[in-house]
Structure 1
Amino acid sequence: MTKILVVTDAWRPQVNGVVRTLEITQGELAKIGVEMEFLTPGEFRTLPCPTYPEIRLSLTGRSAIRRRIKESGADYVHLATEGPLGLLAKAAVLAMGETYTTSYHTRFPEYLAARLPVPLSWSYGWLRRFHNAGSGCMVATRSLDDDLTARGFRNLMRWSRGVDHTLFHPRDDLPEGLRHLPRPIFLHVGRVSVEKNIKAFLSLNLPGSKVVVGGGPQLEELRRAYPDVHFTGPKFGEDLAAHYAAGDVFVFPSLTDTFGNVVLEALACGVPVAAYPVMGPLDIIADTGAGVLDADLQKAALAALEIDRHHARDVALGYTWAKASRQFLDNILLAHGSDEAEKAAE
């Protein structure tokens, strides 16, 4: 059985696209006989990350990581994040005379610049060295591929995303907490933090109601600043899917996401999307007609009300986790020159 060890600094109890993607990919690969094991901060002493206390920074050394990698018996090592564990694993794998693959999930330089006066060139230089030292770096979209290529990143490989069509689907019944709200409902789902640019949505002059689903460090600040907005806090599973389906338009104001899993989940629930014409929405929505992209987000949100909900779901049906997970596996095999990759490509 093929075994992949994934090293990730992002892990439970975090609720984000990286963690969800890794967990779902593990389940999909198990169906085709591939084992995916995780090396996470839960195995070590940790400290809270400044400004992100729910993110834990691992306190360990290269020798412990090297020993853990050897004990796993994995055929391949994939570094999902560029945090302490990712950096230590990079050094350990290279010292063992082996190689690794990586994935680029987060526009960390932009996130950092939103909080500290750190030049983007410094952050990208560090990330470039981390990813280029491996045998392949997986990116979710063509826009991200083009952006990183222009910044000197090499060996880029496409790894798209999927959506659970059985969980996320149109529904007739509204969640009890939303039944009293005036329509239309303009909805946002995701981490409530500064880099998500949620204020750009909340400040729009729109009819009906605005709803924000999710938690994060900016939640209480925004609740105080926008008392007319309905903040539900985090939702999960069927409850989350029901909240998606309650929306008339999904508003995605982020300027820094590399993909936007929430965009696919909204579309799968039959909710058209309004967003800026930036990385992520450009790749998912493009000219599909499932949403409206405009530098004027208010204009996009109002125009999206006219989109047929069935069409929005039809676009999401083209994305499956089975396909995305197979793509992840093929990338790893190809990066390591495996005969299995050649067979899969035939």
Structure 2
Amino acid sequence: MLFCSIYSIWFKMLFTMSKSKIQRYEICCFEIYYLQMHFKLELLIFFNRNYHIALSLSFSMYFQCCNSTHAPILLPDGSPVIVGRSAETKIPDKLCSRNQLELVANYNQKYVMVKQLGSNASQIEGIDIGHRKTDRLHAGQTLHVVDMKYPHKIAICIPNSGTTSSNTKKTKLPQEENTFSKRQKMTEKVAKNISDEENETNSNNKNNSAQKPSYHWSQGLKGSMDDPSLRVSKDDKVVVIKDKYPKAKYHWLVMPIENIISCAHLRSEHLPLLKHMVKVGEQTIEDNISEKDKSKTEFRYGYHAVHSMSHLHMHVISQDFDSDALKTKKHWNSFTTEYFVDAEDIINEIEKDGKVKNRKHMADLLKEPLRCHICKRDQKNMPELKKHILKCG
């Protein structure tokens, strides 16, 4: 009887509306919720596309972490919310800007408009949004805050029901009023800064169209690709540049022109490109060092296990490590431990498994004791290590 009564009301309403020129209206949403052994009816009728009558339960939208590392963040209808690296999101990664994303919820159509403010890539369903570009995030879709990390979804919460639309654990919602007030002030400040920055950029572009663009430090490689003082060679697939801070006598970077963030994004279709990069690396050595050095200099081609720069790059580096830019234990261990992965190993992994192994746990190798890469003896500090290498080599 309950079903019959609900549907009879519905069809009667349709019939009544058809008699009064139904084309003036749009039925936008009709949902029946079964909650606590009774039905609750939601009917949104849009009036001339501008006004609506809501015979429904009210709901709220939240930005919810898939790993439940922080409390859900309220997304008020139509009000921009800034999220990024903060105590609130518990994101410590410096690749993530403090103002990484602007989120604007649309309660009528139940989606969130996402604008990427940070320099490093954010993704919806694995697809980059793009710096200063926007895309829609719908319920059920996954948003990675930066570099395919920190997955989040939209949670649609119905008050007093304790349920959400996403398949997530039941989470106690935070006290919203004070938090939102603080965030709103921050959002207004960020919006003003962005507006001022864009106005300044437009003004500078008019005054000096040849001015070089600025890059976040983690995207410095993209700027270096276009720097004629660093570029060594270029073809239709890759660019070779000198490392701006070389860690050895010879140190080049081979980078694809295609926008590939890191080894984690490599798949089987990239195999021809990776093999081409190795060949280009070999040719770079052939073209840029003397015959005398070729006979006595050993080289390695490879990638760091965890990328700090946001563009795929293969190191071509001589094993003399004779450079003033080689200053810290972190520098040393990044090229002389398993943290440095040979290019052939990357290719073999993709040929076997279709992707590269997750090596994020290898970050601890950077803290290993200083050890000679030739005789494997521990050294006290970098000056002592460099003296030792001259004798050991």
TM (norm. structure 1) is 0.23
Structure having the larger proportion of residues in strand: 2
User: Quick one: higher RCO (CA 8 Å, sep 6+), 1 or 2?
Assistant: 1
TM (norm. structure 2) is 0.21
Structure having the larger proportion of residues in helix: 1
